[in-house]
């Protein structure tokens, strides 16, 4: 499958394309790449399959790599390896990375900027390390569990459920779950407005101040 990319898009011969596939598997640190390049996906471990997919994405020398939930269902050790590989890929290949993830900790370790989406639209755009201003972003941070989480306290949750894609209400889609919502929030759709250097937020009542008990990693998100 990796070789096919070069055959179709670069016009390489089968032998040349295979050699390039081995080169990319080596680049993403797949051991015994020449042998692995002839194997089937079921013969790879979960982490190895993720590396192979990243290698496949690099076969066409892209300017942008879109990584959609690349660490889902991976254990912590393999997850760390994949994130390091993505960072290394960005440095060595010069490609930008668009990381799609529900895990804010993963995003904060990998990205320079964060775009937070709710009900199909961007509600906050901020640099990694910036202070979250949208109530949904702050709620996500509050639900993050790490080694410093007090096990004797109940876990934070976001009440309610997100709206169905075909039933998004007027105004702010997060209003029914937001403790700061006013009548304006339920009738007028907020637009992304500047909230500091390189920071935009779509909220009529953006809170200010660091979250209580926010860890260093959470603050980096």
Question: Can you tell me whether residue 126 is helix, strand or coil?
Answer: strand
How sure is the predictor about 189, in pLDDT bands with cuts at 50, 70 and 90? Answer: very high
d(CA 158, CA 58): 38
Confidence band of 211 (pLDDT split at 50, 70, 90): low
* Least trusted range by pLDDT, from 18-22, 74-78, 114-118, 158-162: 74-78
Residue 120: predicted pLDDT: 93
CATH architecture of 2-100: 3-Layer(aba) Sandwich (3.40)
Could you tell me the pTM of the whole model? Answer: 0.78
DSSP H helical segments within 11-152, as ranges?
A: 14-27, 33-36, 46-58, 76-93, 104-110, 135-142
Any idea which residue has 């079921």 for tokens?
Answer: 42
Euclidean distance between CA atoms 185 and 177, whole angstroms: 11
**Plot region of 36 (φ>0 → left; ψ -120 to 50 → alpha; else → beta):** alpha
Report CA Rg, the chain: 21
Each domain of the chain, given as residue ranges in start order, spans: 2-100, 112-220
Tens of pLDDT, residues 88-146: 888 888 889 999 998 888 888 889 999 999 999 999 999 998 899 999 999 998 888 87
How do residues 65-92 score in pLDDT, each as one tens digit? 898 988 877 778 878 888 888 888 888 8
């Amino acid at each position: 499958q990796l070789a096919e990319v070069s055959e179709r898009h670069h016009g390489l011969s089968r032998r040349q394309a295979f050699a390039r596939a081995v080169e990319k598997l080596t680049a993403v640190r797949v051991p015994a790449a020449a042998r692995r390049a002839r194997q089937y996906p079921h013969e790879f471990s979960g982490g190895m399959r993720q590396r192979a997919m990243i290698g496949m994405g690099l076969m066409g020398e892209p300017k942008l790599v879109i990584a959609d939930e690349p660490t889902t269902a991976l254990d912590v050790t393999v997850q760390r390896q994949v994130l390091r590989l993505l960072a290394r890929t960005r440095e060595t290949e010069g490609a930008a990375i668009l990381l799609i993830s529900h895990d804010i900790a993963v995003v904060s370790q990998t990205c320079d900027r964060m775009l937070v989406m709710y009900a199909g639209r961007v509600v906050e755009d901020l640099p990694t390390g910036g202070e979250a201003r949208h109530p949904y972003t702050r709620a996500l941070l509050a639900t993050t569990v790490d080694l410093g989480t007090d096990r004797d306290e109940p876990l934070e949750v976001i009440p309610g459920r997100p709206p169905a894609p075909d039933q998004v209400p007027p105004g702010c889609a997060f209003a029914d779950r937001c403790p700061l919502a006013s009548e304006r929030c339920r009738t007028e759709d907020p637009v992304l407005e500047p909230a500091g250097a390189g920071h935009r937020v779509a909220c009529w009542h953006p809170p200010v101040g660091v979250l209580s008990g926010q860890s260093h990693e959470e603050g980096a998100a």
